[in-house]
């Protein structure tokens, strides 16, 4: 009887800790889904490992889908917010919008909507900015790159200006497709994100 009572108390305590743990929700595309790699090698998995090593109690939910666009993320977000109730939402979307030549204004609208929905749900928001290769033309690449700081400024979200700083355009850091980072690049991605992310925890 006593053993059963102690077991029940232990279970309740464990559930209480889970309920109190903050959740970091990552909504992204193939960059955060670790395309071409074991997901345990991706930067999001490395983030989860670092949080645990540094004593943070946060749970990390990686809701990234390869090939996803800002429109796809915006459609999925309400359900994700309701299910996970995150304290921090990391938005890593837009790259596929750009690669498909979609209007930057559409990307801006989708990102702003996602930020506002997340904030309304009580979450801090971190936007991970992206840039396009120069072969898409200066006018388009400039308009695309300007979306991320504009949305951050207008919504009060926090911004990492370029997620792939020091990685994009470096052959040794990219897989053979020239689009997706290698396993060696994943730790660099985390280092690009961590200084801006840490104060939001």
CATH code of 73's domain: 3.40.50.1110
51: CB partners within 8 A, 6+ apart: 24, 58, 60, 201
Tell me if 3 is assigned to some domain: no
Question: Does any domain span residue 133?
Answer: yes
Could you give the percent of the chain with pLDDT greater than 90?
Answer: 90
- Going by pLDDT thresholds of 50, 70 and 90, the confidence category of residue 16 is very low
Residue-level pLDDT at 4: 57
Residues assigned a catalytic role: 30, 177, 180
Q: Give me the domain span that covers residue 67.
A: 22-200
Measured distance CA(129)–CA(160) in Å, rounded: 6
pLDDT at 8 over 90: no
For residues 85-91, give the mean pLDDT: 99
173 within a domain of the structure (yes/no)? yes
> Is 4 within the bounds of a domain?
no
Q: Look up residue 63 and give its two tokens.
A: 């809701």
The domain total for the chain is: 1
Residues 6+ apart with CB under 8 A from 143: 104
On the question of pLDDT at 11 being above 80, the answer is: no
Q: What is the mean pLDDT of the chain?
A: 93
**Has residue 98 got a pLDDT over 90?**
yes
Asked if the structure places residue 145 within a domain, the reply is yes
**Residue 14, in any domain of the structure:** no
pTM of the model: 0.90
């Amino acid at each position: 009887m006593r053993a059963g009572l102690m077991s029940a108390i232990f279970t309740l305590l464990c559930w209480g800790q889970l309920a109190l743990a903050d959740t970091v929700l990552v909504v992204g595309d193939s960059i955060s889904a670790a395309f071409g790699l074991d997901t345990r090698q991706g930067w999001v998995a490395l983030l989860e490992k670092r949080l645990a090593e540094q004593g943070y109690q946060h749970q990390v939910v990686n809701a990234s889908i390869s090939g996803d666009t800002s429109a796809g993320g915006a459609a999925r977000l309400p359900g994700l917010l309701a299910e996970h109730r995150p304290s921090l939402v990391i938005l890593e979307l837009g790259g596929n919008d750009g690669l498909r030549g979609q209007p930057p204004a559409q990307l801006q609208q989708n990102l702003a909507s996602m930020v506002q929905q997340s904030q309304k749900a009580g979450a801090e928001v971190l936007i991970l900015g992206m840039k396009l290769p120069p072969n898409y033309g200066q006018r388009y690449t400039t308009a695309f790159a300007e979306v991320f700081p504009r949305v951050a400024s207008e919504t009060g979200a926090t911004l990492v200006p370029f997620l792939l700083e020091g990685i994009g355009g470096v052959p040794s850091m990219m897989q053979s497709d020239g689009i997706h980072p290698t396993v060696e690049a994943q730790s660099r991605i985390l280092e690009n994100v961590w200084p801006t992310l840490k104060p939001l925890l």
